[in-house]
Structure 1
Amino acid sequence: MRLTTSNHFAPIAAGLLAASIVTGGANAQSLGGFPIHEPGAPSSSSGSTSGGSSKKGPMQIIVDANGPGPYKTISQAIDDVAEGGVIYVMHGRYNESITLDKSIFIQGDRGPGSGVEISAPMNAPCLRFSPEQGTTHAVVANVQFKARINSSANACIDVDQGVFTLKESDVLGSGIRPAVRISGGTVMLEKNRISAGSEGVFVAQPHSLSQSFIIDNKILQNKVGVDIASGSRADVVIAGNEIFDNLDSGVKSSGYGAAKLIGNKIRNNQGAGVILDKYAELSLIRYNEIAQNQGDGVAIPFGANGAIEDNDIVGNEGLSIFIREGLEPKVTNNFIENNGGDRPCSKRDRRKGRCK
């Protein structure tokens, strides 16, 4: 019986920043209904002291590289905006590297035009989130990030700690470093397009209380789509994504934390669809379509426990599921067909649910 898998997976954890929007004073200038503020001028609005900076500033700022307003760079607006404030970025190209260390919401323009493009200088990240306090929460939406080719920066998007949400954005890596690097905190990546990195998303969160949620993204044309490093202890949820056309494996997990792959399409990668490697534990691979990869559908070369169940594993050039002798993860109720390396299904394999 063939499984029917859903192409979409409802977000498991989304908790976006709840920011109070406080209007400016009676004499404040405005643009498109948003108050604007002269850089360095006093403001009647003030930010809270909860996330790092206690500097007073406007709660709303508009940045327009090509417009009449005072703010031409995003970095200048980040310096001035109050804690919990909103920066609205008009369409245009911004040649800068952004550092966030406070709770703010950066919203790219959704109107007509070419969109918002942030192009990083050579050897600098496009955006780095590195707050002093772990409760600081920044949200960035509808922005295109571009790293310089062969840049030696750690990543285009580099998250050190805190709570960070990136959604509906495009991240283009340098080709030799990760497009998105997560080394701490709690991170939500939702509905983004992530490409051209050594890894599309590289997770290396050493703290067991850290979490990453990678939901409904398109992750393509990297070397590895998603790579959970061997030193990582975070729980990682990878759900509802399309992970395809990567030059090596689609997903590789070597971390100690729980890795949950649910409802993804993992296809046309030049290595295995999924590798559970080295220290991978508590893995759950369920309701995925793992198809047309040049290696194995799922490969477990060293050691893993967990479950591989209710997946479609079809048309891969290697084995449907490679498990080194002596390893016994739970493998049940998968639809397996036309994988190049599979031998005819034995009674033992059929009894264990490895094929039908």
Structure 2
Amino acid sequence: MKRVLSILAAIGGLGLLAGAAAQTLGGFPIREPGAHAQPGGGQGAKPDQKGPLQIIVDVNGPGPYKSISKAVEDIAEGGVIYVMHGVYNESVTLDKSVFIQGDRGPGPGVEINAPMNQPCLRFHPKQGTAHAVVANVQFAAKLSSRGAPCVDIGSGVFTLKESDVLGSTVSPAVMISGGTVMLEKNRISSGSEGVLVNQNHTLSQSFIIDNKIGGNKVGVDIASGSRSDVVIAGNEIFDNLDSGVKSSGYGGASLIGNKIRNNKGAGVILDKYSKLALVRYNEIIRNEGDGVAVPFGANGIIEDNQIVGNEGLAIFIREGLRPKITNNFIQNNKGDGKKGRRSR
């Protein structure tokens, strides 16, 4: 318990849990329970929401909170839930601004196992400004016959970092259908898609940064109905059963500095409605299909990539619009022959 209190004190030292009446979490204001706020930010009005700003959850401990869902229900807007090591058999729904931190100390970690046909974590807040942050948690979805994703994000502002997401093979490990989303330094595997992006609103955005995405059917799939901008940067996307990255959406897709390797299909597919793609500084190597496939034509830029050792062509373009292709290092792709060259 001393370690938990010291960690919470450290968080408080960062300004998340200090006792001042006006604090922020993810850029959004939080207040101590009982603090009064006027419409202009002053004192005297009714409190926004009652409840503790700190809750410790321990499924194996003597405290009152053994369920993450119960802690989410009771926590004040903008509060912090610290989760101790253990296995939590539940589906967690977030509908407010909250920070969930898994225990970083030595031990087996924090694991959330979803019931059959339910998501491990669902974030669909009614207020679009709600911001949830989840860190250092392992999510595992049971085999699902109805396609429930393990992590389901529908609106608001959401950050998932330094976590493991294990899908159910017949549904996405992470499903993004709205909001502004940051996935950073996670391990994402065993989904029909590692990350499925299907954000219909043009102001939605997704940032998929520094993750390891492997062992899915498709690594990252930007669906044909998506109109959001998606940035995929610094990831390792590997050993997926189909393509590494497939972009079919109307929005802009930027693939920058990724290692896309050993996928059973193409490394990158710029598919039907992909018109604003940027593919730059990636290593696209040893995939069993083409390095980059453009089956229906696409605007955009493919430049400064290493496209090496793929079973198909380095860059396949069948018909329609041609992206600008320049300064790529191309070598040992079987569809091209083995001679090394740079694209112009």
TM-score, normalised via structure 1 length: 0.84
Question: 2:106 aligned with 1:112, yes or no?
Answer: yes
Matches within 5 A, 1:112-261: 112-261=106-255
Residues in 2 aligned to 1:150 and 1:137: alpha-carbon distance in whole angstroms: 28
**Partners of 2:145 and 2:170 within 8 A in 1:** yes
Matches within 5 A, 1:21-100: 21-22=17-18, 45-46=33-34, 54-100=48-94
User: Equivalent residue for 1:354?
Assistant: 343
- The structure-2 alpha-carbon separation of the partners of 1:19 and 1:258, relative to structure 1 and needing over 3 Å to count, comes to farther
Q: Percent identity?
A: 74
Residues in 1 aligned to 2:35 and 2:240: alpha-carbon distance in whole angstroms: 43
Residues in 2 aligned to 1:325 and 1:68: alpha-carbon distance in whole angstroms: 65
Secondary structure of 2:171's counterpart equals coil
Gaps of 5+ in 2: 1-13, 21-31, 40-46
Moved over 4 A (4+): 46-50, 343-346
Residues in 2 aligned to 1:148 and 1:154: alpha-carbon distance in whole angstroms: 10
**Partners of 2:307 and 2:329 within 8 A in 1:** yes
- The structure-2 alpha-carbon separation of the partners of 1:22 and 1:70, relative to structure 1 and needing over 3 Å to count, comes to farther
Question: 2:292 aligned with 1:294, yes or no?
Answer: no
Question: How much has 1:133 moved relative to structure 2?
Answer: 0.9
Deviation track 1:121-142 (CA, whole Å, cap 9, x = no partner) reads 0010000001001110000000
Question: How much has 1:62 moved relative to structure 2?
Answer: 0.2
Gaps of 5+ in 1: 1-17, 25-43
**Partners of 2:52 and 2:79 within 8 A in 1:** yes
Counterpart of 2:259 in structure 1: which amino acid?
K
Residues in 1 aligned to 2:213 and 2:48: alpha-carbon distance in whole angstroms: 37
**Partners of 1:119 and 1:147 within 8 A in 2:** yes
Q: Aligned match of 2:322 in 321, 328, 331?
A: 328
Residues in 2 aligned to 1:67 and 1:289: alpha-carbon distance in whole angstroms: 47
Secondary structure of 2:276's counterpart equals strand
Q: May I ask how many residue pairs the two structures share in their alignment?
A: 313
**Partners of 2:83 and 2:100 within 8 A in 1:** yes
Counterpart of 2:343 in structure 1: which amino acid?
R
**Partners of 2:139 and 2:150 within 8 A in 1:** yes
Question: How much has 1:55 moved relative to structure 2?
Answer: 3.3
Question: How much has 1:152 moved relative to structure 2?
Answer: 2.3
- The structure-2 alpha-carbon separation of the partners of 1:108 and 1:46, relative to structure 1 and needing over 3 Å to count, comes to farther
User: Equivalent residue for 1:37?
Assistant: none
Question: How much has 1:46 moved relative to structure 2?
Answer: 4.6
Secondary structure of 1:252's counterpart equals strand
Counterpart of 1:121 in structure 2: which amino acid?
P
Question: 2:263 aligned with 1:269, yes or no?
Answer: yes
Report the RMSD for the aligned CA atoms in angstroms: 2.3
Secondary structure of 1:93's counterpart equals strand
- The structure-2 alpha-carbon separation of the partners of 1:74 and 1:153, relative to structure 1 and needing over 3 Å to count, comes to farther
**Partners of 1:56 and 1:82 within 8 A in 2:** yes
**Partners of 1:85 and 1:103 within 8 A in 2:** yes
Counterpart of 2:146 in structure 1: which amino acid?
S
Secondary structure of 1:281's counterpart equals coil
Residues in 2 aligned to 1:169 and 1:47: alpha-carbon distance in whole angstroms: 34
- The structure-2 alpha-carbon separation of the partners of 1:163 and 1:154, relative to structure 1 and needing over 3 Å to count, comes to same
Question: How much has 1:354 moved relative to structure 2?
Answer: 3.0
User: Equivalent residue for 1:313?
Assistant: 307
Deviation track 1:282-318 (CA, whole Å, cap 9, x = no partner) reads 1000000000000000000012100000000000000
Counterpart of 1:21 in structure 2: which amino acid?
L
Deviation track 1:151-202 (CA, whole Å, cap 9, x = no partner) reads 5243000001000000000000011000000000000000000000000000
Residues in 1 aligned to 2:264 and 2:35: alpha-carbon distance in whole angstroms: 49
Residues in 2 aligned to 1:123 and 1:71: alpha-carbon distance in whole angstroms: 25
Residues in 2 aligned to 1:334 and 1:262: alpha-carbon distance in whole angstroms: 13
Secondary structure of 2:264's counterpart equals coil
Residues in 1 aligned to 2:261 and 2:337: alpha-carbon distance in whole angstroms: 22
**Partners of 2:177 and 2:197 within 8 A in 1:** yes
Residues in 1 aligned to 2:244 and 2:16: alpha-carbon distance in whole angstroms: 40
**Partners of 1:140 and 1:166 within 8 A in 2:** yes
**Partners of 2:295 and 2:319 within 8 A in 1:** no
User: Equivalent residue for 2:274?
Assistant: 280
